Amino acid sequence: MSNSRGKIIVVGAGIAGLSTAWALTRRGYKVEVFEQGPIPNPRASSYDEHRITRHAYGTLEGYGYLMPRAFRMYEQLFQDIGARHILPGSVVYFLRDPVDWYEPVSRTMTALGKAFHEIPLAEVPDRFPMIETEGLTQVVETEEGGMLFPIRILTDLTVWLGNNGVVFHSDARVGDVDPEAGTIVANGQTHRADRIVICAGAWVNKITPLVEDVVVPSRQAVMYLTPPAEYVEVWKTAPVMIDLGTDSGTYTLPPKNGTRLKIGDHVFTRSGDADGDRIASDADLARLNRAARLAYKDFDRYRVIEKKVCFYTVTRDPSEEFQVKPWGEKVWVVSACSGHGFKLGPLIGDGVAAAIAGEMSDEDAVRLTAGRMSLEEARALEGA
Ligand SMILES: Cc1cc2nc3c(=O)[nH]c(=O)nc-3n(C[C@H](O)[C@H](O)[C@H](O)COP(=O)(O)OP(=O)(O)OC[C@H]3O[C@@H](n4cnc5c(N)ncnc54)[C@H](O)[C@@H]3O)c2cc1C
């Protein structure tokens, strides 16, 4: 796509869409954002109290290499919006089976110069009295991670974009995208732009056929909880915790900085429809409850404040690569979900804006966002 400073339509006001609008606005483009619901939209993947950010990326080492840049992009965004919506801290991993995790993580963290250490199993009951120790094989603490606060980020970013000339169209579901003409239809009206960026989250396959062979929506359950009285104090100082087994696993965000204790299940369902009901049924919660009982002592005594169903797209194969691709002459499609896209939102948005501005080739933007760059390439990009 050629370099031009013109008008860009962004479809979707989640972290990917708003970050792309941010990166384009900073480059001098005139941006209009179309969102099918309110802005921000509580049904979006991005809408939640907290999200994990971290350098330790398991077997997805290419994304680990991008994390120093992802953290820096967030700092730039925080500077613009005038608020630092992040709580830095460690992320502690509780491994229960011989999962393929430690080796790639130790390699990535060492290559990035980020600290990590094992916590002796004998120390776990004192430091983490809420953890079920049965079945634990290894506990590893990784530094320089923490929690991002998405609702606050989306809201402040919307305010910043509005103040910087971005036009918002809420309750405007987009259809009939013409990738060659650069037109969309919303609420019966046709709109034209020099480029269109589709950041439709779990609705992506309803608006374009481009990635439907590769990604599928995944219905995921989370719970917000009140711990039993004897664990209240220990949860207040807990880090982000991730429990990894071969067929179960949880991620848990502690109740800090005005958020609730949240537990989720990181096994993908690869089923459901983002337009469907959002009522968390017993079936939705069965696997999460089982995984949580394996991870936490006395889990049945935690009281549920809210059960929630949310959606993201995930690749049909196990790669979890984000799908960020040009479609025809005028459109980019951004599907950066797979349960790990929030921490990379501004990096992805900046990558797409760099490609539209001609600062980066389309091929490099695709490889960057798919986490396919080597450590050397990621470093070179940072120095560029
Ligand atoms: C429970 C849960 C836990 C997660 N945990 C983490 C985590 O700890 N760390 C992390 O980094 N990531 C995490 N993620 C993933 C992360 O939240 C997502 O990858 C990211 O928010 C995706 O952003 P998005 O902008 O692509 O999609 P969305 O936020 O879904 O935004 C898409 C927007 O497009 C709009 N839209 C769709 N179709 C149309 C249309 N036709 N016309 C107009 N508007 C349209 C939608 O209404 C929506 O607002 C988690 C996700 C979930 C659901």
Mutate to test the pocket of ligand 1, among 312, 325, 332, 344 (most ligand atoms within 8 A of CB): 312
CA of 119 to the centre of ligand 1 (A): 34
Give the C-alpha separation, 55 to 117, whole Å: 14
Provide the percentage of residues in the chain whose pLDDT is more than 90: 88
pLDDT at 338: 81
One-letter amino acid of 132: E
**Cα radius of gyration rounded to whole Å, the chain:** 21
Question: Which H/E stretch holds residue 67?
Answer: helix 61-81
Q: Can you give the pLDDT at residue 2? A: 42
Whether the predicted pLDDT of 1 surpasses 50? no
Q: Is 243 in the pocket of ligand 1 (CB under 6 A)?
A: no
Angle made by CA atoms 232, 251, 67, in degrees to the nearest 5:
120
Average pLDDT over residues 50-77: 95
**What pLDDT, on the 0 to 100 scale, is given for residue 246?**
67
Does domain 7-383 bear CATH number 3.50.50.60? yes
Strand duo 249-253 + 240-244: pairing = antiparallel
For the chain, which residues make up each domain, given as ranges?
A: 7-383
Mutate to test the pocket of ligand 1, among 342, 344, 347, 348 (most ligand atoms within 8 A of CB): 342
CB of 274 within 6 A of ligand 1: the answer is no
Long-range own/partner contacts, residues 79-83 (CB < 8 A, 24 or more apart): 80/22, 80/26, 80/160, 81/153, 81/156, 81/157, 81/159, 81/160, 82/156, 83/152, 83/156
For ligand 1, atom 12: residue with the closest CA: 340
**14 Cα–ligand 1 center, Å:** 6
Is the per-residue pLDDT at 73 higher than 60?
yes
Task: Compute the distance from residue 21 Cα to the ligand 1 centre, in Å.
Answer: 15
pLDDT score, position 99: 74
Q: What is the pLDDT of residues 265-312, one digit of tens each?
A: 878 899 999 999 999 999 999 999 999 999 999 999 999 999 999 999
Count CB-CB contacts under 10 A for residue 168.
17
Q: Which of 44-48, 123-127, 229-233, 283-287 comes out lowest in average pLDDT?
A: 283-287
pLDDT digits (tens, 9 = 90+) for 361-383: 999 999 999 999 999 988 888 76
Across 227-232, average pLDDT: 97
In ligand 1, which atom is closest to the CA atom of 173? 42
132 CA to middle of ligand 1, Å? Answer: 32
Which two structure tokens, joined as six digits, stand for 331?
């459109």
* Alpha helix stretches (DSSP H) within 261-336: 282-295
Amino acid at 104: P
pLDDT at residue 379 in the model: 87
Q: How confident is the model at residue 3 (pLDDT cuts 50, 70, 90)?
A: very low
Residue 21 has pLDDT above 70, yes or no: yes
Average pLDDT, the chain: 94
Q: Is the CB of 199 under 6 A from ligand 1?
A: yes
Q: Does ligand 1 come within 6 angstroms of the Cβ of 17?
A: yes
Q: pLDDT of 178-210, one tens digit each?
A: 999 999 999 999 999 999 999 999 999 999 999
Q: What is the DSSP string of 114-162?
A: --EEEPPGGGHHHH-TTB--TT--EEEEEEEEEEE-HHHHHHHHHHHHH
pLDDT at 16 over 90: yes
Greatest mean pLDDT among 59-63, 98-102, 154-158, 267-271: 154-158
For residue 341, give the ligand 1 atom closest to its CA: 19
* 202 Cα: distance to centroid of ligand 1 (angstroms): 7
Q: How far is the CA of 254 from the centre of ligand 1 (A)?
A: 21
Nearest CA to ligand 1 atom 38: 200
**Could you tell which of 9, 33, 45 is best to mutate to test the pocket of ligand 1, judged by most ligand atoms within 8 Å of the CB?**
45
